[in-house]
Chain A
């Protein structure tokens, strides 16, 4: 059965339609894979019973000729999405035992389209992290290893369970969320594709909030086409999310023509940062060459405020987080550590319930919003955000899409950066600008480095122009050639 887990979503869709195999068979293969891969720690909660029930329903639908767009496709759900009656932790101790009585809009959209949920995926606590090491449920292990080494590497973060499960063929696709790069960076370092859609494209309703003005859900899958298939189902206008945008979701697959002749691809010079590893620079050049070969026009552009993006991000995101996380107080749900009065109940619960990185960001956020500091930090960061968005607008006068590396390096070792938050934060250097400007960004697998680790290229699009990203992304994907699958060293 192992080859069923190697299929892409598009291939599985054909197979199910042609009755080459059943949804039950496809789901069983993935449930088995999940069970055998517990060493990766990709899942916080496995839901085989739910998966089997959904697969049975899918087989009925297939038999009756009423197949839905994601019919019978086994997926993992990042544990930031509230799933009705299924434990939802956000990777945090503080949500102990929390089973939401509601379903997030994105997962509801997917289940309505026939997706099969294998379980809830591990992640950095409250999506704060770039390595999945801040999870209360322990780190996720990247299925990829350096050539000749058995050192455990991180799968990126915060959607590390998503990236690892898709790369290791445990799930055909997974949901992720991306606040500063949390879909794209883990996709890049595990050799899969992942897109952060335009802010407002997917509803945030029912997704545990990290930084509301930056958070956006998106798909992670092994091919660009699979991401397109998933996003079509995930995206919707949602009256329950005031920041969700009411514009039609196009047929992304139809836009994937393979033709990028005459397309103008911008190369932002500011992304050539100090100390960028040679292999990243080389990868970037390779990407430029692939697109040029496919008929695109390469244009040099400037995004002059790029250097302010990371500091602006690390003010805005913690500020919003400090407020968003105030509701975890031990009063209504999740963990409660009693105290002699209400204040000590708060203090005890939050001290025990939040990990160090979450506490650090709450403190940063509280500080930058405090009287006397608000103007110097928060207001200034918001102004920078406007300038960064303007940079993109001006660049898009000269080009249709931007090409950059996704991350400044390949997967790093577990524990390597945990004591150096700044170095950890630098992982987001190419991705945060996109969140600050609310634009879509796609990470495409672009081959392996000399150590045999995957690297990714990022395409940044105009607002709501995900279609162009998929079209160009597929061109890169084809040029780079199929990413090999990691050795299944984890299987028991």
Chain B
């Protein structure tokens, strides 16, 4: 190996991404920690006010309910993952129509938040598809004003996540299933193992790690929910989330408070990823 200019080469190839990383990831996080103890407005003097931003976050019921809303997004992740897993298990194989099914099932993953919000406003409106279908089925007593009813609005818009995000989980599960060597299945069939036993004893255990990653992705995703409640409801009717609050604090120049909220979101994600690392290492 030659070595002339080696260090210079390594330095040149790494320096731009590293500077980018420092400016756009590390500086803002450290900066937020510092600013979360101030009431800075984005201009003027920086005055330290101790823990007051954090106190406000945990004593004001409006802010507490925003963190609670994230719970709905976490809850719907359970049926979402079950659905995605079942789908991956049954689609893993060769049969007629496979590619058409794969094509249709990936559509939601390809759509952006604005499109999905519009689709589901039509779906949940008072004269929308859901109420129309309920009418067809003569289930009129189940009809509701889904987006106005303060009790229903959060579970309703949280359930949109199932439609929106199951595709990503499904593709990851499918990828994991397809990396299982086929001779394991062949051996199982030779031993007289039926399809159900095969699913329960081979497929599911083999993708435990990916399943775990997906659960944690859902948890850390639910604390960062922004697009659907923001676009559909603008955070009204009690549909606010911490990230919507960060956005609103930023646009009203409450930089200190936005920093405290950012730190909270960061800490929660950190805990979740920490748990993941802990478990993955045990494997």
Q: Do A and B interact with each other, yes or no?
A: no
Residues of chain B touching chain A, judged by Cβ–Cβ distance below 8 Å, are none
Residues of chain A touching chain B, judged by Cβ–Cβ distance below 8 Å, are none
